[in-house]
Amino acid sequence: MHRVPLFAGVMALCGLLAACSDHSDNHDITIVHSGGRITVINSTVTGLSRGRLHLGNGDVAVRTDGAPDAIISANGDLQIDQHPVAVDDAQRSLLKSYYSNAMLILADGIATGKAGAALGEEAAKSVVTRLASGDPDKIQQDIDAKTKPLKEAALKICADLGNVKNSQDQLAATLPAFKPYGDIISGSDVDDCKKSDD
């Protein structure tokens, strides 16, 4: 049995992920991973329970309905509705953790895109080689063996998301101004991210 339709799906996925190549500083990317829910487009993380994160301009913008944007900077500064919020050292440390883990979602998304592009190239080689050698039944086996790095790269995004959630939960518990943003990422978002289509 030939599994060329699956190959076509893999190639489509890799085409989407190839937008992450180093040809541009504009990170317009879509991350498709095992859970299928969390997506990063134009550096905006969507598919979360109650909001979204925008990763750009050196800041993380936390957005949810019914509340103004919360802007977190690399040094742990917090602005809500363009007004600075006073934070203590422990809160600043949590804000820095939130920021760095949110930015890792973007970095690991780019790495996932590169792994996807590499998978596309390797899958194309496998198809040509296996068809030319008269062994098309091994195409699926070849592709399955080569998807491991892509899955591992995608799971890093899930770990980053879990780390952002941990910071989010602690901030919501210790910083009253952050409470409206305390349920943007849910435990089910993290769990769904880790689910595999195996």
Q: What is the pLDDT of residues 40-83, one digit of tens each?
A: 545 777 778 888 898 877 899 999 999 999 999 999 999 999 99
Q: In this predicted structure, what is the pLDDT of residue 196?
A: 52
Name, of 15-19, 158-162, 187-191, the range with top average pLDDT.
Answer: 158-162
The rounded distance, in Å, linking the Cα atoms of 46 and 44 is: 6
The rounded distance, in Å, linking the Cα atoms of 90 and 87 is: 8
Q: What is the mean pLDDT of residues 81-91?
A: 97
Q: In this predicted structure, what is the pLDDT of residue 76?
A: 97
What interhelical angle do 4-17 and 89-132 show, nearest 10?
Answer: 140
Q: In this predicted structure, what is the pLDDT of residue 73?
A: 95
Residue 9 in contact with residue 119, Cβ under 8 Å? Answer: no
Q: What is the mean pLDDT of residues 174-180?
A: 97
Q: Phi first, then psi: what are they for 77, rounded to 5°? A: -70, 145
Q: In this predicted structure, what is the pLDDT of residue 188?
A: 87
Q: What is the mean pLDDT of residues 83-109?
A: 93
The rounded distance, in Å, linking the Cα atoms of 28 and 18 is: 10
Could you tell me the pTM of the whole model? 0.69
Q: Provide the 10 A C-beta neighbour count for residue 30.
A: 15
Residue 137's Cβ-count burial label (10 Å; 0-12, 13-18, 19+) is exposed
User: Which of 27-31, 45-49, 161-165 is least confident?
Assistant: 27-31
Percent of the chain predicted with pLDDT > 70: 69
User: Which of 24-38, 55-69, 156-170, 179-193 is least confident?
Assistant: 24-38
Angle 53-56-61 (CA atoms, 0-180°, nearest 5)?
Answer: 35
What interhelical angle do 148-174 and 187-194 show, nearest 10?
Answer: 170
Residue 9 has pLDDT above 50, yes or no: no
Q: What is the mean pLDDT of residues 163-177?
A: 97
The rounded distance, in Å, linking the Cα atoms of 161 and 191 is: 10
CA distances from 153 to 24, 38, 76, 142, 177 (A): 21, 14, 27, 19, 34
Residue 130 has pLDDT above 60, yes or no: yes
